[in-house]
Structure 1
Amino acid sequence: MSERILIVAIVPLSSTEARDDALRQLTFGAEHALTKEPGTSKYAIFLSRDPEKQNTIYVVEEYPSKADLDAHMALPHVQKLVSWMSATNPSPLAGTPSTHFLSLPSDDFLFSRAKVSEHKEKDPWVIIAELGYHPGGSATSIPYWQGVVNEGRENEEGTLVYGLARDSEDGEKLWTVEVYESEAYLKDVHVKSTAIAESIKNTKHLRTGLTWTFLKWKDGFLHKDT
């Protein structure tokens, strides 16, 4: 098991004004993480492509270790954001935020290409997928997911970020974080790979559910040279 921690945070805001306020604070946090936090590997901010969910913010974060995560959480501007989201009368939130702490089966289950930063302004196709499995199903599926990640890393230049991780609170729930240079690349190249076909053929029957969320990249970074 990798020590790296991947986080998917989902924050529903009560209004466009509250969303924009949150975006300002998160954008500051992303810039700080990029320039002043060597222990923050990813900090990217997204909005849903669903027009009915424009006030929900999604944040993807990655830290090399729990110590790096703890150091980030202790920063004054992070504590200020936490306090702001906890306010009442009125609350800036439209519901309870959810923070999913994810663990990688090994370091090989997540990669990012440096050129993903060049695609930030080109509207890359971003997906977060949540997969549930019958008991024991997630473990059976892991080798096939390794094949999908390896195929993306080695043979899909247009697959800019790909990660598969296990939910820390539910061992039968897996998440993917995926970024492609375009929706067309996803459909014409990635989903047509032999690795995807093998994964579906051998593990689809093990799933209890699959939810895709399609996102638009607003700010932050998904790759940092080390």
Structure 2
Amino acid sequence: MTPLIRKLGAFVALSAPELTVLESLRSRRRIFRAGRDLIHQGQAGQAAYVLGSGWACSYKLMPDGQRQIVDFQIPGDFLGLRSVLLRTSDHTIEPVTDIEVMEIHVEDLLKAFANAPRLGVAVLWAASRDEAMVVEHLVGVGRRNAAERMAHFLVELGSRLTLIGMGSTAGYSCPLTQYLLADALGLSAVHVNRVLRQLREMGLATFRDGEVIFHDHGRLCAFAQFDASYLDQVKPLLK
């Protein structure tokens, strides 16, 4: 089962014909290397993608060269979907690792939705959930202290990875560097290191050598005041 099917299946119990339509979207596969932007801020007329393997990040670049990472994308996530609908990209997407994607044009989406209307509902749900995550990230940057912000991020990422079979309440593999975490959480790399040490010394979580280990997932969630309801991935709402 692909990550995309796992993700959309959290909202819609996909039928065999709907799975066939999803499979048809896999006809155009492309590889992008880490660090090579696949969508640029201000770009027009680009395709959308579904991330098949690897990790990416979306970010906004400021006039002074600073960047704010808006979110990280994992397998099963759409890349540039909003930009296709709005015709111009308002952010840049960069592979964090080498990635494989499925290239999707607007015509592909319209055809898929015509043949399987409930897929349109599932994609709308996925886009709405992504928007809810951005709201949570805004709250985190604005109101949570650094340790709570990091804890919330690690738990949320774990929940997303668990949905697609790449994580659990014990932990997950994670290729993100402290510099990437800094740009996402509004901290300096030095502060990120200090906060990760704090979480480790509290017996909550360790992030080292590409692995996040949850020592006490329940207490970490409580510390972060993490409420997973905004992720809406408990059971399908449409049978």
TM-score range, shorter chain: 0.3 to 0.5
Structure with more strand by fraction:
1
Structure with more helix by fraction:
2
| TM-score, reference length from structure 2 | 0.35
| TM-score, reference length from structure 1 | 0.36
Higher relative contact order (CA 8 A, sep 6+): 1
